[in-house]
Amino acid sequence: MSTRKKLYAGTLAVLLGAATIFNAGVTKGEAESNTENTYLVIFKDQQGLPSGYAEAIKKAGGQVEDKLDKLGAVEVTSKNANFLKEVKKSSIVLEAGVENTVYPEQTIDGETVEVEDLIEGADFYNQYMWDIKQVTNNGESWNLPGGTGLSADGEDIVVGVIDTGIDYNHPDLKDNYAGGKSFVPGYDDPIDQNSHGTHVAGSIAAKGEALGVGPDLKVASYRVFGPTGGAATSHIAEALMTAADDNVDVVNMSLGGYDWFQDPEYATKDIVADVQLFNRAIQYAIQKGVTVVGSAGNNAVDLSSSGKLSGDDNGATHRSPSSQTMIRVSAGGALKNLAFYSNYGVGKIDVMAPGGDLGPNYDPSTGAGRDNSYLAFSTVPLLDANKNVIGHGYGGKGGTSMAAPKVAALAGVVIAKHGKDQLNPAQVKSIIQSSAEDLFKPGYDEQTGHGLINAVNALTIK
């Protein structure tokens, strides 16, 4: 099996029997005549859509399906196999490419407990939530100014969750829910019909049997995934742009994929349409004062070189989204180890946060020694066979998806300490990095970046 196929099959897929961890978009040369394909067209002017853009798209045989005016981009469908070649002839076009599909990170899943089934007097937080204790120093950070997410100026600090939605009726989340929107065609409700997004939200702001890093932060749902399947890059970019326009303080994106390009000649050219749109959306949010946090991925691979990711395949493979201006998070375990599934790489990881694993005796090659108590536990919805929410509960998961929201929550409480709009995203990132606990190699390293996040340090740093 080629390196690329191994990457897409995924480390966790082999271990857990999952069908797919990450999926690539259609690569160069796969567009067929008489088959309708979806493309992204990025214009040179990123402040708006240029005069004549519709005519340029039509002339190349395309039809505009969605406009991202503030990002200078459109989503286009076309049956013309030469659409990309034709549209790139236009002087107003910067880049164009086949649109990628991005997926929520596949996680390790443990058992689920219904809210009603908790034993009376049971202390769910103390029994299960080692990860929140690790970040908050056993709740010590909650006693510091801003530590729970209550801001110095009384303004709500909101973390936007771009994900599968949020179970906004969950008893541990409903009081901290700040509303939401859906970007999923055919699904208007930002409710979670998967569990991934609710687990993420609980790690940020649960306040009940479960507790988040910032139990007085607010969470907003920007749903981009349906009950199953992935999301188009343009929908995620639109969600991020909307969150920024809504004046959220932080955005968490526990999602991602890989762009693979067969011909090394196109390593820096053909990725641009997809990656450029992500980068424009991220920059749009950052320029509006939003701190953007993303997960590093769960394939146990070195992200530092596109050539290393491709291995024995030709061409370059890129993790997306992975802008250097966002905070990119690897996953650690209860023993402050790098989780066996976590991606890593020099220049690709900013910090590590607890994402859960299967314990020190777990053998990834055989599956023996699994201990679910080392997973990260949080809020989840209970779903029927049709993916409808029928109740609320708690579940264990493991993944960089579970690590990123702790960093997003930490960003939120750092902002809360200083007051809304008092710090820019670069300052927030600097505080989180400089206050992290140094592990492994002295200073920066490829596994933890600047280190393991620490809320007490971040809130007391001078």
Phi, psi of 365 (to 5 degrees): -75, -25
Single out the residue of 71, 25, 19, 56 nearest to residue 244, CA to CA. 71
* Rg, Å, the chain Cα set: 21
CB 220 within 8 A of CB 201: no
- Which residue reads 């219904």 in tokens? 114
- Our answer to whether residue 163 is catalytic in this structure is yes
Q: Which residue in 90, 109, 151, 163 is the catalytic one?
A: 163
Q: Which residue in 90, 167, 182, 196 is the catalytic one?
A: 196
Phi, psi of 287 (to 5 degrees): -65, -20
- Our answer to whether residue 401 is catalytic in this structure is yes
Single out the residue of 320, 220, 198, 222 nearest to residue 271, CA to CA. 320
Please report, as a single letter, which amino acid is at residue 360: P
- Our answer to whether residue 263 is catalytic in this structure is no
Angle between helices 400-418 and 196-205 (to 10 degrees): 30
DSSP 216: T
Q: Which residues contact 213 (CB under 8 A, 6 or more apart)?
A: 132, 135, 136, 141, 203, 204, 405, 406, 409, 410, 412, 413, 455
Q: Which residue in 401, 418, 445, 450 is the catalytic one?
A: 401
| Residues noted as catalytic | 163, 196, 401
